[in-house]
Amino acid sequence: MNSSMQQMGAAQCMKCGFCMSTCPVYQVDHLESHVARGRNLLIRMDEDESIPDQNSYGACLDACLLCGRCQAVCPAGVPSHDINIQARERRLSAKRVSIWQQLLYRGILKHRPLMAQLIRMAALIPGLNHSEGHPLRHMADATALFTGGLRVPRIASTFLSKHIP
């Protein structure tokens, strides 16, 4: 899907709000920019080069778990999952990625059990971990460690992937 097709798909959004009722991220943070209809609007703004804050835009794209629930309930059939992936790719191709990020994204993150072990080990380092906050349960949380903050959140006793294949 090229960028004009991406924008056209995002423009199909009827802003009905069905996606809000199924989005697991929205259920936690209640930020409209983290749900499909808000992201689709931001993606259209980015296409028109009218995004005021690229960092906030990137955080909104990255907040999506890519679970596809929004797409499944969308009466207009907006391919939000695909649109979000394309927007992420476009954003990453526009910015320079360090060698460490390349190693992380192409190597370690593809191997979930290894990533889980590395996070558990990092949580043992004094000063790097903290006990408050939401527990780390899935890979979207893990990637935030390497793109944003320097603290490892409290580790859940079992990862979500152990409960849901």
Lowest-confidence range among 11-20, 94-103, 122-131?
A: 122-131
Residue 135 contacts residue 154 (beta carbons within 8 Å): yes
pLDDT band at 3 (very low <50, low <70, confident <90, very high): low
Give the tens place of pLDDT for each residue, 45-89.
Answer: 888 888 878 778 888 888 888 888 999 999 999 998 889 888 888
Q: Which CATH superfamily is domain 3-94 in?
A: Alpha-helical ferredoxin (1.10.1060.10)
Where in the chain are the domains? 3-94, 99-163
Give the tens place of pLDDT for each residue, 10-50.
Answer: 788 888 889 999 999 898 888 998 899 899 888 888 888 88
Residue 164 contacts residue 142 (beta carbons within 8 Å): no
Check residue 73 and give its pLDDT.
92
Locate the DSSP E strands across the chain: none
